[in-house]
């Protein structure tokens, strides 16, 4: 078993002086034409944490965010902010900031007036509005574009305006609905750093929706994986990546190879996964002889070798189907007794001689495998 | 996605809209009871119903004649409007210069000028051309009025039409006119038809120009109705009104079905 | 090609291609120019004759225009036309806006029925509608009979042959003309913007006033100018429901030409109407570019 490296946990990140609020969703259910978009979802969101709702499209993650924002009414369930029930509050009374997908900037207002909008609505004084707008625009480094109209801005700049507008009135929680999905890859990476930095500086609670697993892994304190309207698993990024509980999580968050078989004991009493004539060591943990078991192994934890290993590591033989060179890494596909296997290794320093059709050995330590529930 | 509570203001707006709808639609249907009145004068039937005003429509030859004249004029005028309007829209779309953009706007003039103004001018010119009180004269005038609607609806369809289809036809050996006939026309006919229907309806209901350009030789339905209202508000107008209202309802329902069909066709194609 | 025999031996491909392109353009230019010439001859020329007559009959000069300014009768007609137009346009616009907004935001099952209603009232013959209103509003019409029978009034109310009747009939005609362009412009408003405003703290009415209304402003300007232009030249409804007592400009021009054969004054009034309409269109053109200002994004 890998030991998670030392890393500030979410609880530590949220300093005692955090201005954020905690939020809890209790048993939220929402049906559309008899189909559950949300199926009894419960969540606790710690104050000041950066929580990401991750799932494939149609999983219900946006419905959940819209329920939190107040635009969707749950058929049942409650929403609490610091133990205050806000389920029946209209969206404008919740005091949540929201960055919409596609930004929803007001096209008839300048950048400054877009950002001033929530303050104007709240009847703040002219001088206060000027001050706060300046603060918010400086926060996203757009002070020099205050007089422009949204259509005169690039996608990244529009995104920042939307962010400034959602932050300017010091909301209790910031909701972000796929805020980076419309941007190109490099810009997205830059803004990921910025958003994370902003979150640390403001200490506010962020709830972030995305379908991009890398984005979720890199930014969040906690990820909630949603599928078919249900929470499948939640936890810190490292925990989810290293210890997925189900086949879906193992396959959706990163890539995995799956081996299915039956639990047997070897003469030394160690638990093995056997399928046909092949036996694989299972990682430590409870297992009963005769149980059906599914093992997930990450491609980057598999070494590709020309010969079977001499030590007791796991090895599966496979014929090399083809490989892709990605510069820093090389990915190969091999045909094995468990089906098509993916393996990935650093290109630099690799001594392996790749040739199509050649028999190779896929080798990994038993701790690299994770037993997961087969949820299809 | 937005399921925020609809406040009392919203409910008030919807309620007001329904009241407004009643104001728009109900008065039109008043012609139905009046048309069945047994009296010679305009009145609501009191118990007894009669078809005498419908019989009047058949017995009085001026009604039949006016319907025939209106039909001939509207059909011919919309035909001319379709040919000229479609040609203009295609040419402007394909050339797409600053000049043709102005031409396209210029072609809309007859839609905007108050009818009384062009009625005066046409009267003078038609007298000189000997077109006064002739079918040809009224057809020509109505064709001018119908053309803008064809230009608009065909241009709207062409705006979504891929220029490369025409270029593909040309690269495969079609002459310019063949390319228009084989690639453009089969794709824009819904717009042509819609514009033509509009032009037909405009002519069918036109009265101001008809009052100035025709006397006894050409007698369109709107002029017959106009005279019917002027002369003691004859209830026969109610009878023709019922027929026209029913025809309009039929046309509106057909249009809705037509829109659905077009939409479903579009959806099927995009699959 | 009318090229001399000896040069044919060496055909220049680029040149023939150019000629081909020119021939294509010729076909398309014909498609544009034929309708244009027809329009100019049979429409624009008659219009120009109106302008010409106004300064040549009965004698050369601007005498007819001086008469417009000086005659109290003409001034009264212009005044009547102006205020009826303004009242009608304002009412039609407010009602059309309400209708368009409601249609766009009501349940989709109801939307279809609303659209049937709007299209029906848009398409039913203008003469039949005027006739229907006469039936309803005349002295012994349905409305007066109902009110008398109900004991609400003892004398029939004067509902037609006055400004009230003309305005009722004109508003009835103009509401769809206001609603349809407004509907088109409201459809182009991004549906997420009002929810976004509410997410930022706006109450429903604030969301409407600060976001929806300003975004629908180009549509309002376009619809109001359209309605103003149409009501300015309105002939049928004022003539029938005004019953000779309320005379608006279009009917007055017809009377000048048909009854008193005063073509000079009639065409001068018509020309003034034409110029007013085109001035309004200039304003409209500005409004459309205004729409382009924040159309995208």
Cβ-based contacts of A107 with chain C (< 8 Å): 190, 215, 294-297
Interface probe for A, chosen from C196, C202, C220 (most Cβ of A below 10 Å), is C196
Nearest CA in chain C to B234: C131
List chain B residues with CB under 8 Å of A71.
1-4
Percent of chain B surpassing pLDDT 90: 63
Q: Is A94 exposed, middle or buried (0-12, 13-18, 19+ CB in 10 A)?
A: buried
Say if residues A162 and A117 touch (Cβ distance below 8 Å): no
Domain that holds residue B163: 64-246
Dist CA B204 CA B222 (whole Å): 8
Within 8 A of A66 by CB-CB distance, chain B residues are 1
Whether residues C176 and B24 touch (CB distance < 8 A) is answered with yes
pLDDT (0 to 100) of residue B12: 93
Instruction: For residues B137-153, give the mean pLDDT.
Output: 96
DSSP B183: I
- Only one residue has tokens 């009768």, namely C73
Least confident of A165-174, A277-286, C195-204, C268-277: A277-286
User: Do the Cβ atoms of B31 and C45 come within 8 Å?
Assistant: no
Considering only CA atoms, which of C167, C176, C114, C177 is closest in space to residue B21? C114
Do A108 and A150 touch, CB atoms closer than 8 A?
A: no
CA-based nearest residue in chain B for residue A65: B1
Give the Cα separation of A337 and A357 in Å (integer).
15
β-bridge pairing A271-275 and A257-265: antiparallel
Predicted pLDDT at C57: 85
Average confidence (pLDDT) over A357-367: 89
- CB C297 to CB A150 under 8 A? yes
Say how far apart CA A356 and CA C61 lie, in whole Å. 98
pLDDT of residue A6: 43
- C-alpha A347/C-alpha A326 separation (Å) is 8
At residue A8, the pLDDT reads 42
More confident residue, B170 or A263: A263
pLDDT at C12: 41
Residue A182: pLDDT band (50, 70, 90) is: confident
In degrees to the nearest 10, what's the CA dihedral of B150, B152, B157, B158?
100
Q: State the total domains in chain B.
A: 1
Coil vs helix vs strand at A223: strand
Across chain C, which distance is largest between two alpha carbons, in Å?
103
d(CA A359, CA A165): 59
At B192-205, the pLDDT tens digits run 999 999 999 999 99
| Cα angle, residue A273 at apex, residues A267 and A274 outer, rounded to 5° | 85
- A90 neighbourhood in chain B, CB within 8 Å: 4-5
Nearest CA in chain B to A74: B3
**Cβ contacts of A149 on chain C, cutoff 8 Å:** 293-294, 297
Q: For residue C208, which residues of chain A lie inside 8 Å, CB to CB?
A: none
Q: Could you say which DSSP state residue A264 is in?
A: E
The predicted-structure confidence for B88-109, as pLDDT tens digits, reads as follows: 999 999 888 889 999 999 999 9
Cα Rg of chain A, angstroms: 25
Q: Is the peptide bond before C58 cis (omega within 30 degrees of 0)?
A: yes
Chain B residue at shortest CA distance from C116: B252
Domain assignment present for residue B140? The answer is yes
List chain C residues with CB under 8 Å of A117.
Answer: 197, 200, 202, 210
CATH of the domain at B101: 1.10.3720.10
Residue B176 near residue C23 (C-beta atoms within 8 A): yes
State the 10-residue block means of pLDDT for chain C, 297 residues long.
Answer: 40 45 75 96 97 92 92 94 96 97 90 92 94 91 90 90 94 95 91 91 91 91 92 94 91 92 94 95 75 42
Neighbours of chain B (3+ CB pairs under 8 A): A, C
CB A162 within 8 A of CB A139: no
Would an 8 Å CB–CB cutoff place A116 in contact with chain C? no
Q: Is B2 part of any domain? A: no
Res B2: pLDDT: 61
**With an 8 Å Cβ cutoff, are C102 and B44 in contact?**
no
Pair B34, B44: CB distance under 8 Å: yes
Give every CB contact of residue C40 below 8 A, 6+ residues apart in sequence. Answer: none
Q: What is the rounded CA–CA span in Å between residue C139 and residue A198? A: 75
C113 touches chain A (CB under 8 A): no
With respect to residue B87, please indicate whether it lies within any of the assigned structural domains: yes
Residue B238 lies inside a defined structural domain of this protein: yes
For residue B100, tell me if it sits in a domain. yes
- Tell me the nearest-neighbour CA distance from C123 into chain A, angstroms: 35
For residue B77, being part of any structural domain is answered with: yes
CB contact under 8 Å between A71 and B5, yes or no, is no
| pLDDT for C9 | 42
The per-residue pLDDT of chain B, averaged, comes to 90
pLDDT at B5: 66
Note the pLDDT tens digit of each residue in A42-64.
999 999 999 999 999 889 999 99
| Domain extents in chain C | 74-293
Average pLDDT, stretch A222-227? Answer: 95
Question: How much is the pLDDT for B173?
Answer: 73
* Residue B9 touches chain A, beta carbons under 8 Å: no
Choose the closest CB to B85 out of C35, C44, C46.
C35
Given an 8 Å threshold on Cβ–Cβ distance, is C200 in contact with A97? yes
CB contact under 8 Å between A92 and C202, yes or no, is yes
Angle at A309 between CA A308 and CA A310, to 5 degrees: 120
CA distance C293 to chain A (A): 8
Q: Which range has the worst mean pLDDT, A217-231, A268-282, B90-104, C187-201?
A: A268-282
Q: Tell me the per-residue pLDDT of A317-349, one tens digit each, with 9 for 90 and over.
A: 999 999 998 988 999 999 998 899 999 988 887
Give the model's pLDDT for residue C8: 41
Q: How far apart are CA B78 and CA B206, in angstroms?
A: 13
DSSP state of B219: -
Query: If you ran DSSP here, which 8-state letter would residue A284 be given?
Result: S
What's residue C294's pLDDT? Answer: 45
C-alpha–C-alpha distance, residues B50 and A358, integer Å: 98
pLDDT band at B231 (very low <50, low <70, confident <90, very high): confident
Average pLDDT value for chain A: 88
CA distance C157 to C145: 10
Q: Of C42, C121, C281, which is closest to B140 when you measure between CB atoms?
A: C42
Q: Domain C74-293 carries which CATH code? A: 1.10.3720.10
In a domain, B20, yes or no: no
Mean pLDDT on A232-237: 95
Residue B121 CA to residue B110 CA, distance in Å, equals 12
A313 pLDDT exceeds 60?
Answer: yes
Q: Say whether A319 sits in a helix, a strand or coil.
A: strand
| ipTM of the modeled complex | 0.91
Domain assignment present for B105: yes
In this predicted structure, the answer to whether residue A181 has a pLDDT above a threshold of 90 is no
Answer whether A79's CB lies under 8 Å from A43's CB: no
CB pairs under 8 A between A and B: 12
| pLDDT of B41 higher than 70 | yes
Mean pLDDT, residues A87-106? 90
Residues of chain B with Cβ-Cβ distance to C105 below 8 Å are 10, 13-14
State the pLDDT at residue A1: 43
């Amino acid at each position: 078993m890998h030991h998670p490296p030392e890393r500030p946990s979410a609880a530590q990140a949220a300093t005692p002086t955090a201005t954020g609020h905690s939020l809890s969703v209790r048993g939220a259910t929402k049906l559309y034409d008899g189909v559950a978009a949300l199926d009894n979802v419960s969540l606790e969101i710690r104050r000041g944490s950066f929580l990401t709702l991750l799932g494939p499209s149609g999983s219900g993650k946006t419905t959940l965010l819209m329920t939190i924002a107040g635009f969707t009414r749950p058929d049942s369930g409650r929403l609490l902010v610091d133990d205050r029930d806000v389920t029946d509050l209209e969206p404008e009374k919740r005091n949540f900031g929201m960055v919409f997908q596609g930004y929803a900037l007001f096209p008839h207002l300048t950048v400054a007036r877009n950002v001033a909008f929530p303050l104007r609505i709240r009847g703040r004084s002219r001088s206060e509005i000027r001050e706060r707008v300046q603060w918010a625009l400086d926060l996203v480094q757009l002070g020099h574009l205050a007089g422009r109209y949204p259509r005169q801005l690039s996608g990244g700049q529009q995104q920042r305006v939307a962010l400034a507008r959602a932050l300017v009135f010091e909301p209790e929680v910031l909701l972000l609905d796929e805020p980076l999905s419309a941007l190109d890859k490099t810009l997205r990476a830059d803004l990921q750093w910025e958003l994370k930095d902003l979150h640390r500086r403001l200490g506010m609670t962020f709830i972030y929706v995305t379908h991009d697993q890398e984005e979720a892994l890199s930014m969040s304190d906690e990820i909630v994986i949603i599928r078919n309207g249900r929470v499948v698993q939640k936890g810190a990024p490292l925990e989810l990546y290293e210890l997925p509980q189900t086949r879906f999580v193992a396959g959706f968050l990163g890539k995995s190879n799956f081996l299915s078989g039956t639990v047997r004991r070897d003469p030394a009493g160690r638990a093995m996964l056997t399928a046909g004539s092949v036996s694989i060591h299972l990682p430590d943990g409870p297992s009963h002889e005769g149980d059906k078991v599914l093992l997930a192994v990450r491609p980057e934890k598999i070494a590709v070798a020309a010969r079977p290993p001499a030590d007791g590591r796991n090895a599966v033989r496979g014929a090399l189907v083809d490989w892709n060179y990605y510069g820093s890494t090389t990915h190969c596909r091999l045909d094995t007794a468990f089906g098509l296997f993916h393996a990935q290794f650093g290109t630099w320093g690799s001594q392996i001689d790749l040739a199509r059709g050649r028999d190779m050995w896929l080798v990994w330590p038993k701790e690299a495998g994770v037993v997961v529930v087969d949820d299809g | 996605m937005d399921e925020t509570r609809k406040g009392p203001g919203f409910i008030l707006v919807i309620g007001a809209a329904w009241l407004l709808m009643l104001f728009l639609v109900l008065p039109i249907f008043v012609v139905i009871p009046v048309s069945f009145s047994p009296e010679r004068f305009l009145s609501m039937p009191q118990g007894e119903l009669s078809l005498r005003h419908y019989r009047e429509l058949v017995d009085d030859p001026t009604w039949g004649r006016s319907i025939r004249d209106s039909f001939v004029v509207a059909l011919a005028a919309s035909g001319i409007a379709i040919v000229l309007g479609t040609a203009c829209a295609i040419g402007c779309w394909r050339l797409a210069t600053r000049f043709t953009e102005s031409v396209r706007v210029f072609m809309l003039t007859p839609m905007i000028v108050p009818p009384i103004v062009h009625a005066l001018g046409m009267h003078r010119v038609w007298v000189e051309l000997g077109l006064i009180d002739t079918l040809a004269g009224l057809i020509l005038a109505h064709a001018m009025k119908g053309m803008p609607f064809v230009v608009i609806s065909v241009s709207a369809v062409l705006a979504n039409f891929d220029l490369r289809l025409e270029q593909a036809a040309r690269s495969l050996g079609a002459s310019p006119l063949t390319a228009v006939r084989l690639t453009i026309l089969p794709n824009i006919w819904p717009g042509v038809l819609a514009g033509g229907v509009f032009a037909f309806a405009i002519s069918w209901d036109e009265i101001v120009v008809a009052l100035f350009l025709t006397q006894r030789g050409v007698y369109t339905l709107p002029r017959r109705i106009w005279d019917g209202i002027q002369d003691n508000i004859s209830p026969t107008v109610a009878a023709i009104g019922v027929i026209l209202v029913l025809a309009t309802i039929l046309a509106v329902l057909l249009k809705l079905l037509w829109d659905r069909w077009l939409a479903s066709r579009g959806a099927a194609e995009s699959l | 090609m009318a090229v001399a025999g000896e040069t044919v031996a060496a055909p220049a491909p680029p040149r023939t291609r150019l000629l081909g392109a020119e021939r294509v353009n010729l076909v398309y230019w014909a498609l544009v120019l034929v309708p244009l010439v027809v329009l100019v001859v049979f429409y624009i020329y008659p219009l120009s004759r109106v302008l010409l007559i106004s300064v040549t009959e009965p004698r050369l000069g601007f005498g007819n225009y001086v008469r417009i300014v000086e005659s109290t009768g003409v001034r009264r007609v212009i005044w009547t036309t102006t205020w009826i137009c303004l009242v009608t346009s304002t009412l039609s616009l407010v009602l059309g806006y309400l209708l368009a907004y409601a249609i766009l935001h009501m349940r989709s099952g109801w939307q279809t029925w609303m659209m049937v209603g709007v299209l029906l009232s848009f398409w039913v013959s203008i003469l039949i509608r005027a006739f229907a209103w006469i039936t309803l509003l005349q002295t012994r019409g349905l409305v007066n009979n109902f009110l008398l029978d109900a004991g609400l009034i003892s004398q029939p109310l004067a509902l037609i042959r006055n400004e009230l009747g003309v305005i009722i009939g004109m508003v009835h005609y103009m509401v769809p003309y206001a609603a349809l362009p407004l509907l088109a412009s409201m459809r182009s408003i991004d549906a997420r913007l009002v929810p976004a405003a509410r997410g930022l703290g706006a109450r429903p009415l604030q969301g409407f006033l600060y976001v929806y209304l300003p975004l629908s402003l180009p549509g309002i300007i376009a619809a109001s100018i359209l309605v103003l232009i149409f009501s300015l030249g309105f002939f049928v409804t004022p003539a029938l429901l005004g019953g000779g007592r309320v005379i608006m400009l279009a009917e007055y021009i017809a009377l000048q030409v048909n009854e008193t054969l005063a073509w000079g004054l009639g065409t001068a009034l018509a020309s003034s109407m034409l110029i007013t309409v085109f001035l309004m269109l200039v304003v409209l053109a500005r409004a459309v570019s205004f729409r382009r200002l924040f159309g995208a994004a």
